[in-house]
Amino acid sequence: MLRFLFSILVSSIITTLVVFVPVPIFAGPPFQTDDPEPVEYKHCEIYLASQFKHDKDGDSATLPHFEFNYGIVPDAMLHLIIPFQYNSPSGEKAHYGYGDTEIGIKFRFIQETEWMPMAGTFPLVEIPTGSHDEGLGNGKAQVFIPLWLQKSWGPWTSYGGGGYWINPGDGNKSWWFWGWEVQRQLSEALTLGAELLYRTADTDDGDNSFGFKAGAIINLTGNHHVLFSVGCDFSGPNRFSSYIAYQLTFGP
């Protein structure tokens, strides 16, 4: 099954590189790889979502988390995630409570043209509001500084890039994240996509990881959407991960 999904992903990437033929795009959720495109000015996105991870050392999830994105000025948006976190290490007591709050601002500094990809950045700060002792938070503030690129060809869109996570704390390491996603709009109601992900270790005794996710965006109406994805590591600690969300979009 993994070989089959990986073959589809590779084929999609190759096709994207050779097809040169612009369409409404969805980027970011339900994927980990992000994009440089902010929410339109005075428009808003609200997500009610849950993310689950089954790793070699236990399970963790957001149950649920709320995400808010608002286009504060042209080419820039404000971002907020309010998470309720579940953590169940193998052989230890499970904990549930409020996790680390995420804030950020996405800024697009290059518009896409026929030959030029869109480019932007999306700095994030993880505020340590969750209990570190219960595994619900990092214990110290984390900062992510990325660069994202995106290009579209007809029904195809491809985006990706990466950045550096500043990750202080005893036993922690600052680390790199890289990802690239390919998606195709099959109809006004359905978009399918897949991504490859690579990250370096974020703790002194951690491992680098390389994995994938495949997912879909279903447009119930112009304002109501359902997003989901599943994946795992080819090499690394993650055995299975999933994301599901209801998204409401609106604006003037």
Which tokens hold the place of 55? 């790793």
For 241, the enclosing helix (H) or strand (E) is: strand 238-250
C-alpha distances (whole Å) from 105 to each of 34, 79, 111 are: 13, 6, 17
Per-residue pLDDT of the chain (252 residues; tens, 9 = 90+): 434 443 444 344 333 333 322 233 345 899 999 999 999 999 999 999 999 999 999 999 999 999 999 999 999 999 999 999 999 999 999 999 999 999 999 999 999 999 999 999 999 999 999 999 999 999 999 999 999 999 999 999 999 999 999 999 999 999 999 999 999 999 999 999 999 999 999 999 999 999 999 999 999 999 999 999 999 999 999 999 999 999 999 999
Rg (C-alpha) for the chain, rounded Å, is: 18
Using the 8-state DSSP alphabet, how is residue 60 labeled? E
